[in-house]
């Protein structure tokens, strides 16, 4: 098995994950520039109407999606590293990646508990 | 609309500097948004953390492709930085803005001193090495993660010396590995700010885009620009920011 699998998959996740989120962010900002009055200045969270607003190409919801995807890129990066180590049959680092992933998931649950 | 353009351009400039000098943009974004645009520090920290994820993802791709970042060392130290960042992000919700501003000022002074003493890595990074003193490296990484979650900074000036001086990792590898770790550490605490409703969407959107584009451009400039003078001027700027943040923390606004 390719011993460099973890490096290759990590680089791919980093590259495409950040590019996709930035592209979505740019789309939302362009819509915001076209129609700035639709934007409610202030803080945000996912909100009740997030998906409905997203389908109707609301600039705020699209920027929200871009930011959320960007925040998730490191999560998928750790997942890719973990899968890479599993494929390379490196038990020690597969376990370490799994624990880091678990910490990240616990962090998200802790964050959700604050809502 | 003009304020968004200013945020975009200034954060773009910060991205260029952070890329040229090898520091996280968070050191600049948080004080800038807090001092100039009077954005609450918790929202500024959240913006800074998202910008760190964006800029570090861009640069880490290159480090990983070149195999300069030690993924095994990075993922091991992430155990400490991620747990530290989650605790830091949680604590930030309990600490008032004034205390965070004073702590930020102290960290800026530390980073200024670190930058003056920092040398450009020149050693051959390809030679074999074995990281040593993991327990101490873990402890320092935990503190770095904690400060990252608490103040929205990358923590590189804490992790790099720890890896280089204590764990005996070559400086180039330590810098690349620290950069590789930044995004994961920032992401761990970012969700806490997000779900507390402290992500200011338009401000974060333009700041993150500016920082990302600036850092991408800066990484190309890195090979053609002499950074010594920039670094010294930058240290002066950081100390000025530290003073401003400290005065704001003790409610003595100079602006």
Interval B167-171 mean pLDDT = 86
Are the Cβ atoms of B50 and A71 closer than 8 angstroms? yes
| Contact A10/B at CB under 8 A | yes
Q: Whole domain around residue A29: which residue ranges?
A: 5-113
Q: Which residues in chain A touch residue B183, judged by CB atoms under 8 angstroms apart?
A: 73-74, 77
B15 domain residue, yes or no: yes
At residue B83 the predicted structure's pLDDT band, cuts being 50, 70 and 90, is: very high
Are the Cβ atoms of A18 and B184 closer than 8 angstroms? no
Is the per-residue pLDDT at A62 higher than 80? yes
The C-alpha R_g of chain B, in whole angstroms, comes to 17
Interval A77-86 mean pLDDT = 89
Are the Cβ atoms of B57 and A25 closer than 8 angstroms? no
B255 domain residue, yes or no: no
Q: How many CB pairs under 8 A join A and B?
A: 150
| Contact A25/B at CB under 8 A | yes
Model pLDDT, residue A47 = 63
> Residue written as tokens 């530390």?
B110
B223 domain residue, yes or no: yes
From CA B200, how far away is CA B188, in angstroms rounded?
A: 18
Is the per-residue pLDDT at A20 higher than 70? yes
Interval B72-89 mean pLDDT = 93
At residue B121 the predicted structure's pLDDT band, cuts being 50, 70 and 90, is: low
Counted residue by residue, chain B has a size of: 255
From CA A77, how far away is CA A81, in angstroms rounded?
A: 6
| Contact A107/B at CB under 8 A | yes
DSSP letter at A42 equals S
Is the per-residue pLDDT at B224 higher than 70? no
Q: Identify the residue among A41, A74, A84 best suited for mutation to test binding to B, counting B beta carbons within 10 A and taking the highest.
A: A74
| Contact A53/B at CB under 8 A | no
Are the Cβ atoms of A7 and B65 closer than 8 angstroms? yes
Are the Cβ atoms of A67 and B204 closer than 8 angstroms? yes
Name the residue in chain B with its Cα closest to that of A105. Answer: B188
Name the residue in chain A with its Cα closest to that of B67. Answer: A7
Q: Which residues in chain B touch residue A4, judged by CB atoms under 8 angstroms apart?
A: 67
Mind listing the pLDDT tens digit for each residue in B1-29? 788 889 999 999 888 887 777 676 678 88
Is the per-residue pLDDT at A1 higher than 80? no
Q: Identify the residue among B189, B194, B206, B212 best suited for mutation to test binding to A, counting A beta carbons within 10 A and taking the highest.
A: B194
Q: What proportion of chain A, given as a percentage, has pLDDT over 90?
A: 32
Q: How many separate domains does chain B show?
A: 1
| Contact A34/B at CB under 8 A | no
B225 domain residue, yes or no: yes
Q: How many separate domains does chain A show?
A: 1
Are the Cβ atoms of A26 and B209 closer than 8 angstroms? yes
Mind listing the pLDDT tens digit for each residue in B171-216? 888 888 888 888 899 999 999 999 888 888 888 999 999 998 888 8
Mind listing the pLDDT tens digit for each residue in B24-63? 667 888 888 988 888 888 899 999 999 998 888 777 777 7
Is the per-residue pLDDT at B247 higher than 60? yes
Q: What proportion of chain B, given as a percentage, has pLDDT over 90?
A: 21
Is the per-residue pLDDT at B254 higher than 70? no
Q: Which residues in chain B touch residue A62, judged by CB atoms under 8 angstroms apart?
A: none
Q: Which residues in chain A touch residue B67, judged by CB atoms under 8 angstroms apart?
A: 4, 7
Are the Cβ atoms of A7 and B64 closer than 8 angstroms? yes
Shortest distance, CA A52 to any CA of chain B (angstroms): 18
At residue B81 the predicted structure's pLDDT band, cuts being 50, 70 and 90, is: very high
Lowest mean pLDDT among A80-89, A99-108, B119-128: B119-128
Which residue of B67, B86, B187 is in closest CB contact with A74? B187
Is the per-residue pLDDT at B86 higher than 80? yes
Lowest mean pLDDT among A41-45, A104-108, B68-72, B145-149: A41-45
Are the Cβ atoms of A32 and B212 closer than 8 angstroms? no
């Amino acid at each position: 098995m390719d011993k460099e699998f973890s490096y290759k998959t990590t680089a791919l996740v980093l590259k495409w994950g950040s590019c996709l989120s930035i592209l979505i962010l740019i789309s939302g900002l362009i819509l915001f520039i076209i129609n700035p009055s639709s934007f409610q200045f202030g803080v945000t969270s996912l909100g009740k109407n997030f998906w409905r607003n997203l389908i109707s190409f609301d600039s705020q919801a699209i920027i929200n999606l871009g930011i959320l995807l960007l925040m998730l890129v490191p999560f998928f990066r750790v997942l890719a590293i973990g899968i890479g180590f599993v494929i390379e049959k490196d038990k020690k680092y597969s376990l370490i990646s799994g624990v880091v992933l678990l910490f990240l998931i616990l962090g998200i649950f802790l964050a959700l508990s604050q809502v | 609309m003009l304020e968004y353009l200013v945020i975009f351009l200034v954060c773009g400039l910060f991205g260029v500097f952070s890329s040229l000098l090898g520091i996280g943009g968070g050191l600049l974004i948080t004080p800038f948004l807090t001092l100039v645009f009077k954005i609450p520090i918790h929202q500024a920290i959240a913006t800074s953390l998202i910008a760190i994820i964006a800029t570090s993802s861009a640069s880490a791709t290159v480090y990983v492709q070149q195999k300069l970042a030690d993924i095994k060392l990075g993922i091991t130290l992430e155990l400490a930085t991620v747990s530290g960042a989650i605790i830091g992000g949680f604590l930030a919700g309990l600490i008032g803005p004034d205390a965070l501003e004073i702590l930020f000022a102290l960290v800026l002074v530390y980073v200024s001193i670190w930058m003056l003493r920092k040398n450009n890595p020149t050693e051959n990074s390809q030679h074999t090495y074995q990281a040593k003193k993991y327990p101490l490296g873990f402890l320092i990484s935990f503190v770095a993660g904690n400060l990252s979650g608490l103040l929205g900074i990358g923590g590189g000036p804490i992790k790099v010396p720890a890896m280089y001086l204590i764990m005996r990792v070559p400086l180039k590898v330590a810098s690349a590995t620290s950069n590789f770790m930044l995004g994961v550490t920032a992401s761990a605490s970012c969700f806490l700010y997000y779900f507390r409703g402290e992500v200011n969407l338009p401000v974060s959107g333009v700041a993150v885009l500016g920082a990302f584009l600036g850092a991408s451009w800066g990484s190309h400039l890195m090979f053609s620009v002499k950074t010594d003078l920039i670094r010294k001027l930058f240290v002066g700027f950081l100390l000025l920011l530290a003073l401003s943040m400290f005065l704001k923390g003790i409610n003595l606004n100079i602006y």
